[in-house]
Amino acid sequence: MFDVGFSELCLIGLVSLLVIGPERLPKVARVVGFWLGKTRHMVASVKEEIKMELHAEEMRQIFKEQSGLPEVQQIMDETSNTLKSTISEAQDNLDTRAVTDPEQHKESLPTSKAEQHEPK
């Protein structure tokens, strides 16, 4: 706000002492302090209301953006179900091959960790 240093405050105090007088200066200082405090409180209150209104507007925007999310969620669920069914079909195919031709299935899989890392 204003850059008021100690020397400026002393000058204001001296001028107010000369203009207002020593009898009325404490009363005037109390009234000025009261109004400054009230003004600061009002400014803080307005800032808080603006902040709350901006937060409420952001929440409205988020809710508006998320209104389309059920469609996205449905697509994701369908994709997940398709992937699960594909994985289960592939697993069933592997199990069927292992049962129908166990020797070929055993040969295609390494039996030890050393065989897994050896180049062929």
Which of the two residues, 38 and 60, has the higher pLDDT score? 38
Return the pLDDT at 52: 93
Which of the two residues, 110 and 47, has the higher pLDDT score? 47
Which of the two residues, 75 and 49, has the higher pLDDT score? 49
Phi-psi region of 21 (alpha: psi -120 to 50; beta: other; left: phi over 0): left
Contact 97, 89 (CB under 8 A): no
Phi, then psi, of 78 in degrees rounded to 5: -60, -45
Distance CA 29, CA 21 (A): 12
Share of the chain above pLDDT 70, in %: 81
In angstroms, what CA-CA distances link 80 with 20, 71, 76, 87? Answer: 82, 14, 6, 11
Band of pLDDT at residue 118, cut at 50, 70 and 90: low
Single pTM value for the model: 0.44
Distance CA 72, CA 66 (A): 10
The arithmetic mean of pLDDT across residues 44-64, rounded, is 91
The arithmetic mean of pLDDT across residues 61-71, rounded, is 78
Band of pLDDT at residue 91, cut at 50, 70 and 90: confident
